[in-house]
Amino acid sequence: MNRDLPATDETYMGLALAQARAAMAQGEVPVGAVVVCDGQVVAVGHNCPVSGHDPSAHAEMQALRAAAQALGNYRLPECELYVTLEPCVMCAGAIMHARIKRVVFGASDPKTGACGSVVDLFAEPRLNHHADVVGGVMRDECVGILQTFFSERRAAAKARRLAESSPAAEVAGDPSVPPSETSN
């Protein structure tokens, strides 16, 4: 536990991690988000682009939409967003449009991160809104759930490939071999 951080950052990131676990349980990339306003959780969200058939259904987008509905306004200038993975460009754009005052993320995203890893949209002086950004909150836990998810996914894919290439799989797929000869 990083003693330099306010306890609330870790508390709210813990809630975002719970949302990430919910995404993982549904077979989605485990990213979770929480929107907090005046010390109260107003919305949560987790990744669901696969199950929702929606490329914009990132955790941040889900949480921002829910917060806007809960508060009756798409502008959320007194709110903070906690998310387990650094927001991408799409999510950073939505965060700017919502006027979120502070973004707190756990794991950096070296492929699509828009808070400094690949680009830093919040530091771009030509843009009209700039949120305060804090990264690395509960980093190890946030990285860990992502590593677990992708490790399990790779292992399952490898097992499928091995099963498909085994002699038993070839015989099982051959209509000339009776089923009794392929079962033990």
pLDDT tens profile 78-95: 999 999 999 999 999 999
Clarify whether 60 is annotated catalytic. yes
Residue 91 is labelled as binding a ligand: yes
Note the Cα 149 to chain centre separation in Å: 11
Q: Is 112 left (phi over 0), alpha (psi -120 to 50) or beta?
A: alpha
Fold for 7-171, please state it: Cytidine Deaminase; domain 2 (3.40.140)
142 known member of a binding site: no
Is the pTM value of this prediction over 0.75? yes
Q: Out of 60, 141, 170, 181, which one is annotated catalytic?
A: 60
Q: Mean pLDDT lowest for which of 38-52, 105-119, 121-135, 150-164?
A: 150-164
Does the annotation place 88 within a ligand binding site? Answer: yes
Give me the mean pLDDT over the 146-171 stretch.
82
Q: Where are the domains of the chain?
A: 7-171
